[in-house]
Amino acid sequence: MTRAAAIVLVSACALACGRAAAPVTPLAAPKAHEAPPRPAPASRSLSVTLGFGAQGLHVRVLATGAPEDLRAWTLGEDEPDRLEARDAADRPVTFRREGRRLVLESPAAVVTYDVRPREADEDARTTLIEAARFRAAGEKILAIPDAFDAAVVETTVTLDGRGIDAPVLASTFGVGNDRVSRTVRVAGAELRRVAFLGGGGGRAEFDAPEGHDEAAWIGYTAFDPRAVAAEVAGFRGLLHDYFKGNELEPSTLLLAVDARPRGRFRVLRRASGLLVALSGTDPFDASLRLAVAHELVHAWIGERIWLGDATPGREAESYWFHEGVARWVAREQLARAGLLSPEEYATEVNRLLGIVTTSRHATRSSAELVREGTTFGVVPLLVARGALFATIADAHVRGASRGARSFDDVLRALARQAEAKRGPLPEGALREALAAEIGEARARSGFDEVVAKGTTRRLPDDALGGCFEAREIVHQIHDPGFDVAASRTSKTVIGLDPRSAAAIAGLRPGDALVSIDVPEKKGEARLEVERDQKRIVVVYAPSSGSARGQAFSRRAAFRHDDEACRKLALRR
């Protein structure tokens, strides 16, 4: 049986054997590099309850522990309303606020508060509270004692659906109806990475030898969420087999429809699952499928396998690996499973080639890019370099071994090292593993030319196999002129290039965003901003010309033979 047939069979079995409700008609914090949590006293525990009512989300956090554990709490990022603290005898506790911190005069066992409805934006972490439905992220809404951040404790998470008609309730710990309560052992820092969901929708559960998966969705999707949930469960099992994992933890997929424009979906890895925020018109096409697969790969690359400096704030130094190589794994495994067509496969490769060809930062070193921080286009370029490096390395390993080995074997060697070390690996670990396959000189020069310096922006002509041929095309330079994603999140203009069409049209750094419409490809950009208490509309074409570069297309001989193309291009 082929790998493609196997995953289809897994998905079909999951649909047939799981308990699925009828359908209703987008950088993860790493685990592998974290210090082992210190043991917690047996008396220490947490209980978190979320209820839905007229005031929005009502949150109740009950903590037990030594008195010194309960004197300082950190609130979520959302401003709480009707905040109260009480001791174990239910007596009010006086406190003072220092930003997001609560400093208490005596230990508080219970902290309660409301999170009110607020204007939603395209950041999937933003708390969404509407009539009879909600979406929330732990870091936004949870108050947790500081002493619990690093200690693994028994934690009960309860979602109460009273106030929601026919509710589906879920967190990344699991799904259910009406009232859901799950008890897990987790550190407070990990609890902040949980996502919560509630409202009218559906749910599904899948049990198979490959693992246990659950899914929940609220709102009307343009696709059958049951089939998508089954596919994701099957693909997660495939990745477990790819990395030769010893165990597969349960996982939850959450789909939340909101008012965002089509094509501006967000996929976030949240604790043991995924949160997908999308519009009701988004199809589950190659773009969304790749984004979901990319985040699933992070369960290994970025969590179990971490390269480089693990110090907070230094993560960007390894974006090329944790994001770029993860993107390569997602693309290759989807294609081998038959979930990307040959055209979709080539489109993804050409997208990466377009980024390295047209980026305004194309000639800059990776060290310079990391120092640029949030400047527009830096992260996509680092990711593209990492994914193209993996593509070239794969071609070299296959050539050196005459097809007996591949870059997959290099990544599996890293996975074994990470499992043995139980901590971060040096950045050079990948080059060392690659050198064992193709030699030190070739491994180092490939890394330097593609990732570190960016001087190589082409793939070998045979890098994608015999189905595709390389050619020269004109890549259009799509340049919004500022960091669109960061600006949407902060609601101010960030990373504006003073030479860009946006700046020439009148946009200024720090302008407060009232509305923003920037097309992904072609079209006119239109922004409304507020400056000096005045509303200003800025309209411009987010493009600055074109550049010639490499791309791949299907050979004429295989244009109508997908199976033959797949055998040549998507090698085992």
Query: pLDDT exceeding 90 applies to what percent of the chain?
Result: 62
Q: What is the DSSP letter of 425?
A: B
β-sheet bridge partners, residue 273: 252, 270
Query: With 70 as the cut, is the pLDDT of residue 102 above it?
Result: yes
**How far apart (Å, rounded) are the C-alpha atoms in residues 346 and 337?**
16
**How far apart (Å, rounded) are the C-alpha atoms in residues 477 and 357?**
9
Q: What is the pLDDT at residue 119?
A: 72
Q: What is the pLDDT at residue 485?
A: 76
What radius of gyration do the chain's Cα atoms show? 25
Return the higher-pLDDT residue of 430 and 4. 430
pTM to 2 decimals?
A: 0.86
DSSP string, 101-161: EEEESS--SEEEEEE------S-TTS-EEETTEEEEEHHHH--EEGGGSSSEEEEEEEEE-
**How far apart (Å, rounded) are the C-alpha atoms in residues 261 and 451?**
34
Q: What is the pLDDT at residue 222?
A: 96
Query: With 60 as the cut, is the pLDDT of residue 571 above it?
Result: no
Q: What is the mean pLDDT of residues 162-188?
A: 90
Query: With 70 as the cut, is the pLDDT of residue 11 above it?
Result: no
Q: What is the pLDDT at residue 570?
A: 54
Q: Among the listed ranges 47-56, 307-316, 557-566, which one has the minimum average pLDDT value?
A: 307-316
**How far apart (Å, rounded) are the C-alpha atoms in residues 387 and 355?**
11
**Residue 362: which of 551, 549, 553 has the closest Cα?**
549
Q: What is the pLDDT at residue 37?
A: 54
Q: How many CB atoms lie within 10 A of CB 103?
A: 11
Q: How many CB atoms lie within 10 A of CB 110?
A: 17
Q: What is the pLDDT at residue 412?
A: 94
Query: pLDDT exceeding 70 applies to what percent of the chain?
Result: 91
Query: With 70 as the cut, is the pLDDT of residue 63 above it?
Result: yes
Query: With 80 as the cut, is the pLDDT of residue 357 above it?
Result: yes
**How far apart (Å, rounded) are the C-alpha atoms in residues 144 and 62?**
9
Q: What is the pLDDT at residue 26?
A: 35
Question: What is the chain's mean pLDDT, rounded?
Answer: 87
Q: What is the mean pLDDT of residues 145-168?
A: 91
Q: What is the pLDDT at residue 24?
A: 28
Q: What is the pLDDT at residue 1?
A: 39
Q: What is the pLDDT at residue 39?
A: 52
Query: Which residues have CB under 8 Å from 484's CB, separation 6+?
Result: 376, 516, 518
Q: What is the mean pLDDT of residues 445-463?
A: 93
Question: Strand, helix or coil at 203?
Answer: strand
Q: Which of 154-163, 241-250, 521-530 has the highest mean pLDDT?
A: 154-163
Q: What is the pLDDT at residue 519?
A: 79
**What domains, with CATH codes, occur in the chain?**
3-297 (2.60.40.1730), 315-470+555-569 (1.10.390), 480-541 (2.30.42.10)
CA 544 to chain centre: 30
pLDDT tens digit sequence for 292-324: 999 999 999 999 999 987 777 777 889 999 999
Contact 321, 430 (CB under 8 A): yes
Q: Which two structure tokens, joined as six digits, stand for 335?
A: 């294609």
DSSP string, 437-482: HH-HHHHHHHHIIIIIS-------TTTT-TTEEEEEEEEEEE--SS
Band of residue 28 on the pLDDT scale cut at 50, 70, 90? very low
Q: What is the pLDDT at residue 389?
A: 97
